[in-house]
A and B are shown apart, each in its own frame.
Chain A
Amino acid sequence: MSLDRQLVQKIAHLARLEISEQETDMYVETLSRILGLIEQMNAIDTTGVAPMAHPTDTGLRLRDDAVSETDQSGKFQRLAPAAEAGLYLVPKVIE
């Protein structure tokens, strides 16, 4: 399977990446190659093999339900481009 330019543009848009015409051509080629690799794997007969969601055979480690964090919002907000009244400010979003 190979990707066309339109699909690459769509993927870039969904990831909010701005790519040039030239880069689009490059990604069409490199991403298609990755899909080619997956196609090779798809060719293998996996009948009887249980699908897995994670490469290691471990289960999720769980923590007790306890509050362990303290308020560090002051420090965090100094990293933000804009903050006011305790809020992080971002370009206006209205749906």
Chain B
Amino acid sequence: MEWEAVIGLEVHAQLLTKSKAFSGATTKYGAVPNTQACAVDIALPGVLPVFNREAARMAVKFGLAIGATINHHSVFARKNYFYPDLPKGYQISQYELPIVTKGHIDIEIDNSRKTIGVTRAHLEEDAGKSLHEDFHGMSGIDLNRAGTPLLEIVSEPDMRSAKEAVAYLKKLHELVRYLEICDGNMQEGSFRCDANVSVRPRGEQKLGTRTEIKNVNSFRFVEKAIDYEIERQIDVLESGGTVVQETRLYDSDKNVTRSMRSKEEANDYRYFPDPDLPPLVIDDAFIRETEKTLPELPDAKRARFIKDYGLSAYDAGVLTASPEMARYYEETVRESKADPKIVANWVTGEVSAYLNRENKEITDSPVTPALLAGLLRRVADSTISGKIAKEVFEAMWNGQGDADAVIEKKGLKQITDSGAIEKVIDEVLAKNPKQLEQYRNGQEKLFGYFVGQVMKATGGKANPAQVNALLKKKLGP
């Protein structure tokens, strides 16, 4: 039988606010345990939550960016369960009336476009962290993360393969970073993904029983975990079994998913509107004001890069993968006034290669747009050749100053004086009488050999175009 997978994703994006959702404690990552958990966060008796306006604004910003409905009234509810990293015994979330409903995100898959529905995005608070290393048989609890605002983004079950799920996830990741509402750091858990996966015979309308995979913290693992889970469910069904609705954990070391707990009991969250929190009211003025803060979105930027800079779809994609990368590229174009395609080659080539090698982000590049622009100007005005430029780039990367300083210090200035080049050509021809004879006897490919010798003799500094022209003249018929 042919099977079809049905996948929906739930993404938790930590919102980039300075303070928590319902308290004035800081949200900074990596502090000493519990030093950022205030009386509200640890749920001391008598405290009251007061909601962070910026978190509401970020949710609205997201809703606008995915063409969703922004609900003028949304309601915070209590989701009740007991776990030590949730001190109140409930998580403040939104249930029946979320702030954002019905948006969509377009993905590109195998050169065709597919629209993935976003059912809803709702505001909630994060829980703390449990550390199960041995503390005399006890667990340690760090509540620094407790109360950090989250936007939970729930997709429709519109994806049909792990590849589509990853494409959607990447698109979403890129979007929240463009909107500057989430730093997208998957290692630190600021962007987390749960996947709901089920399979059904192709052509069947009814959905199969689904499982939820938790604990996947990279794009690669999301793909592997979903692929594994699809195969597992098909195996279960084909051997006559039934899929159990449950939560499963992905183990990246073994590349398997494992049953975590039966969802039946855990699912009884007894939601009810939080009596401490009246409805969140978003008026039109708030929405309009937020709309003004929307940046150029990734798809629009890609289209503009292709149109204005004449880039290929591939280069435009690479250069707009993050807002920082796009900024770097455009600044270099602006400052160098060089051909945008040449700038694109440098940024996707040398710059990216060096960044990858040293595992650096574009914002940490020692060669800033200004430095790179300086280098490109020297190529444009023929002070150096493109080949020498790579040597200069390496020196700039290693902090040896700007292009002019490096060219000066290393004596890399291109030789454009015809007299000087001719002198070298004469020397080279004099030193290679055998090759010269062969060339004269019709072995024309030796021309390249002579060019190479001249370049070598000048340390790569001779202007290649001039070398070619002068050599042709000397060897001429």
Chain A interface (Cβ < 8 Å from any Cβ of B): 14, 16, 53-54, 56, 58-69, 71-73, 76-77, 82, 84-95
Contact = CB atoms under 8 A, between A and B. Distances in A.
A54 B273 CA distance: 8
Given A16-B82, A67-B18, A67-B25, A95 B261 contact: yes
Interface in B238-287: 260-261, 268, 270, 273, 275, 277-281
B24 A93 contact: no
Contacts, number: 126
B83 interface: yes
Contacts of B36: 71
B19 A66 contact: yes
B75 A53 contact: yes
Contact of B141 (A14, A72, A87): A87
A70 to B, nearest CB: 8
Contacts of B208: none
Nearest to B54: A65
B34 A86 contact: yes
Task: Name the residue in B82, B135, B136 with the highest tally of chain A Cβ atoms < 10 Å from its Cβ.
Answer: B135
A75 B136 CA distance: 23
B39 A65 contact: no
B42 interface: yes
Contact of A88 (B50, B140, B270): B140
A84 B19 contact: no
Interface of B: 17-19, 23-26, 32-39, 42, 44, 50-56, 75-76, 80, 82-84, 97, 130-132, 135-143, 260-261, 268, 270, 273, 275, 277-281
A37 B384 CA distance: 89
Nearest to A61: B50
Contacts of B84: 88, 90, 93
Given A65-B55, A87-B140, A93-B132, 4 more contacts: A54-B273, A67-B25, A87-B34, A89-B135
B279 A93 contact: no
Contact of B24 (A60, A67, A73, A84): A67
A89 B131 CA distance: 9
Given A63-B53, A87-B131, A92 B138 contact: yes
A91 B138 contact: yes
Nearest to A62: B53
